[in-house]
Structure formats: structure tokens, C-alpha cells
Amino acid sequence: MTPDLNLDYENATQQHYSANNPIEQYVLLSKSAKGAACLELIKQVLEAPGVYVFGELLAMPNIAELQTGPNASYYNTLNLFAYGTYRQYLENQAQLIELTPVMRKKLQHLTIVSLAIKTKCIPYKELLEELDIKHVRDLEDMIIEAIYGDIIHGKLDQKKQQLEVDYAIGRDIRTGNVSELASFLEEWCDSCETILACLENQIHRANSEKQKRLKHKEAIDTEITNLKKLIKVQAGNDSDEAMATDSGRELSVGHQDPRKKSTKSKSLKVSGAAKMLSRQMP
């Protein structure tokens, strides 16, 4: 019998998608789940490791119909895990199911994510209050678990008593908040463009300053070259004059050689050029 390659490919694709989207298997199960099975499915997904988004499951007909029936607390709890925080759970326990320790910890981790969306530096004081934790050590242990679980990335600043978040997973977004998110992203893009324009301006100024300094350096190099040539010429003239002086020692002591005056004048020129060069150098 010839194997169905198309079916094998579809199964492999579905398995790969489910592995990268853990909620998918629960979404598929919810299509046929009814009554107690549907309630048990919600409990399982709330405890399932790696499942932190629940919007797809909330939208399934068998799950959505729970919100108006006697088991509305299950739907409300699933909705809380999708959009809410641990503080909201504490304030509305009457409308929710009782959470197991695993569920509580997951909701606390999701609460940290929600706080990280608002600010990247979260004070311990705020975390202790929002997570209903009494001791800092217990708070730090919970944060470390969230970091190891790839829920957030960051570090604990014990000196400043705050959590510094570098990354956090995404959470479900309510349909009514899409426009708000789009507005936020638009503002972020505008900020990026402003920063980019500022950087380009700084680069232009830096390049202009670089060109000025290069021209100044070239001018100084030219002056140095000219000064070296002048010194070299002066040295040659001094040598010629020294030889002429030695050959003319028989002249009268009172007789003044006009070439000495010329030598002094040239020395003054070299000295003046050196002073001018020193003033030009920064």
C-alpha cells in the first residue's frame, strides 16, 4: 500500500505548529469537549507549562458559552489568565474558581509580565503588593523562576530594590485595545525617526569637525615643512659665512662684516616663523 505523503506532511506540520504554539492542542480538544470535560480542559490549560496565551481558547464556541451558564466562574478564570493580574484575582475570588498552587504561580508570573509592559524597572515594593508576597526572599525566588522559565529576562538589583526587565513574553490583547496598541506603536515609530534624525545630525557635525581638524593639520604640516626648508637654507648660509670668516681673519678687528648682520636677520626670520607655528598648533 502506497503511503499518503500529503497526509504525513500535514500531520508533521500540525505537530510542529503545536510544539511552537502549545495552546493549539487545547483549542483542538475544545471543539469536542462538553460539560465536565470542558471544565477539566480549562483546569488543564491553566496548569499547563509553557501556555501563557489563552485568547484562541476563549474564542472557541464551547468555551464562550460557559460565560452565561452556571459554570461562568471557569470562563471568568480563563479570561483572567488571558488579560488580568493576580491582584484582580484576589479582589474577585467569588466569581472565580479556586486556584491550585501551580495556577497561582502562573498568574503571578503573568502579572510580572503585565508590570514589565508598563515599566522596565519594577520596584520590589510594587511587586510585593501586586503578587501578595510578604518576604523579599520569596519574591526574588519567584522572579528567578520566571527568568529560568523564559517568561522574562532581566536582573535583580538588590541595592536599589527593583527588578530590571530586558524582555518579557507577550500576553493576549483585548479586541478593544488594538487601536490603543496601534497608537502606541505609531508613537514609538515617531520617536525612532526623531532619534535617527538626531543621530544623523550628530554624525554630520562630527564629520564637519573632522574636516576642519584635517585642514588645520595640513596647514601646520605645511608650515613645518617650510620651516625645515628655511632652517636648512640658513644652516647652509651659516656654513658658507663661517668659511669666509676663517679666510678673512687678517682683516682689521674694527672692520665689521655686513654678512653677519644678514645672518642675524635670517635668524630672526627663522625664530619668528617658529613662534608663528607654535601659535597655530592647538
Q: What pLDDT, in 10s, does the model give residues 219-261? A: 999 999 988 888 888 887 767 666 666 666 555 545 555 555 4
Residues 113 and 226 both lie in one domain: no
What was the pLDDT predicted at 280?
54
How far CA 185 is from CA of 2, 80, 176, 200, in Å, comes to 52, 25, 16, 22
Does position 13 have pLDDT exceeding 70, yes or no? no
Predicted local confidence at residue 61, as pLDDT: 92
Task: Please report whether residue 209 resides in a domain.
Answer: yes
Quick: pLDDT tens for 162-197: 999 999 999 998 876 667 667 767 888 888 988 998
**Average model confidence (pLDDT) across the chain:** 83
Say whether pLDDT at 211 is over 50: yes
Q: Is residue 245 part of a domain?
A: no
Same domain, 210 and 127: no
Average pLDDT over residues 207-222: 91
Please give the backbone phi and psi of residue 154, each rounded to the nearest 5 degrees, phi first: 170, -165
pLDDT of residue 230: 86
Shared domain check, 137 and 199: no
Asked whether residue 15 carries a pLDDT value surpassing 60, the answer given is no
C-alpha span between 145 and 139 (Å, rounded): 10
Same domain for 131 and 42, yes or no, is yes
Q: Which domain holds residue 227?
A: 174-231
Asked, for residue 3, whether it belongs to a domain, the answer is no
Q: In whole angstroms, how far apart are CA 197 and each of 194, 200, 208, 211?
A: 5, 5, 17, 21
State residue 259's pLDDT score.
Answer: 52
pLDDT at 2: 45
Same domain, 130 and 28: yes
Regarding whether 184 and 141 lie in a shared domain, the answer is no
pTM of the full predicted structure? Answer: 0.63
Q: pLDDT band at 5, cuts 50/70/90?
A: very low
Whether residues 91 and 35 share a domain: the answer is yes
Q: What is the pLDDT of residue 48?
A: 95
Q: Beta strand pairing status for 152-157 and 162-168?
A: antiparallel
Query: What's the number of domains the chain is made of?
Result: 2
